[in-house]
Amino acid sequence: MKKWLVLMGVLLTIATSCSHERSSQQSQGETKQDKKEMKKEEQQKSDNAKSDAKKKEVTQQKTEDVSQLSDKMKLALAFSADEAEQYTLSKQEILTGFYDRVIPNEKQPRQLVKLYVWPTQHFSGVPKDMKIYSVYPPKSIFESLIGISNDKIFLGGTQIYTSYQELLKNGVELDLKTLYEKNKKYKSLRELEDIIEIVDESFEHDDEKINSLTQQEEPGIMAHLRSQVYQRIADFEGHDYDSSRYLLDNVRFNKSNEWYVNLRDKEGEIVATYTHTKDEPIIKLDAQGRRIK
């Protein structure tokens, strides 16, 4: 009996030892598998991070490659430059629809009907990658000119056909990328781009069309309606708009022939729009077109 008990004890010890060994082997196997999976996961994260960085780099390169911007966008950036109003219409003048035509000793208030630009070949020595555009309406008695290239913007004016170097004496070259970085955040940049119309150079010889536009630009046109609408806006708000902070557009009409007026900040961004409905003489919308009053 004693021998039998001893034998049972030995067998139990061996079984327990084997069980511990299998558990240890299983634990070691699981640890190795876990480490393998962790290493694989870390490698995947590293690969994903590298891929995301590469995509971001490619996207950034595309965004920063200003040479690939359309001609209209480059022209919009030219009009957005602080120096623009010295040679042509400024961004604010184009967006609001009001500008001053400068003649000797006088400024003539005008309203913008159309903004046309067309390529001109009248100047020698122009950089190979640059296009020179004439602008209608001109800001003064001089011909307003804008040059666009892969990396530069030119702003100037002239009364005679001359060389590019002569134009530079009374004009200015600006860095295209700097202009883009400064203005790309503004929604009004796209709005400005949409207003610009590129036509062929035959436009400058179309006297009938130019005379018609000149007549429509007279400030007296729509003056009575504009006065009524502005007064309605003031009555609606209970005060005149703050001209030190805001710009008020000319009265325009949508496809349904309903009038509307945009209120803008000094950068030209729309902050509100006034219009009317069939049943209400005036309502106010926010920049996203949602009614706020």
Question: Are 118 and 231 found together in one domain?
Answer: no
What's the rounded mean pLDDT across residues 149-163?
94
Identify whether residues 180 and 105 lie together within a single domain: yes
Residues 210 and 72 in one domain: yes
AA identity, residue 231: Q
Whether 207 and 81 share a structural domain: yes
pLDDT, residue 261, reads 98
Q: How far is CA 280 from CA 66, 166, 237, 275, 277, in A?
A: 46, 57, 15, 9, 5
Do 75 and 211 belong to one domain? yes
Query: For residue 104, what pLDDT is reported?
Result: 85
Residues 140 and 254 in one domain: no
**Out of 6-20, 183-197, 254-268, least confident range:** 6-20
Domain at 208, CATH number = 3.30.1460
Residue 205 sits in which domain range?
A: 68-216
Q: Are residues 160 and 237 in the same domain?
A: no
- Statement to judge: residues 210 and 240 lie in one domain: no
Confidence of residue 293 (pLDDT cuts 50, 70, 90): confident
Q: How far apart (Å, rounded) are the C-alpha atoms in residues 130 and 107?
A: 32
pLDDT in tens, 99-113: 999 988 889 999 999
pTM: 0.77
Domain end among 216, 242, 262: 216
Mean pLDDT of 60-68: 69
Check pLDDT > 90 for residue 17.
no
Within-domain flag for 239:
yes
Task: Say how far apart CA 286 and CA 263 lie, in whole Å.
Answer: 10
Number of domains making up the chain: 2
Domain stops at, among 166, 201, 216:
216
Query: Average model confidence (pLDDT) for the chain?
Result: 86
pLDDT tens for 78-87 read 999 999 999 9
| One domain for residues 76 and 191 | yes
Residue 237 lies inside a defined structural domain of this protein: yes
208, part of any domain: yes
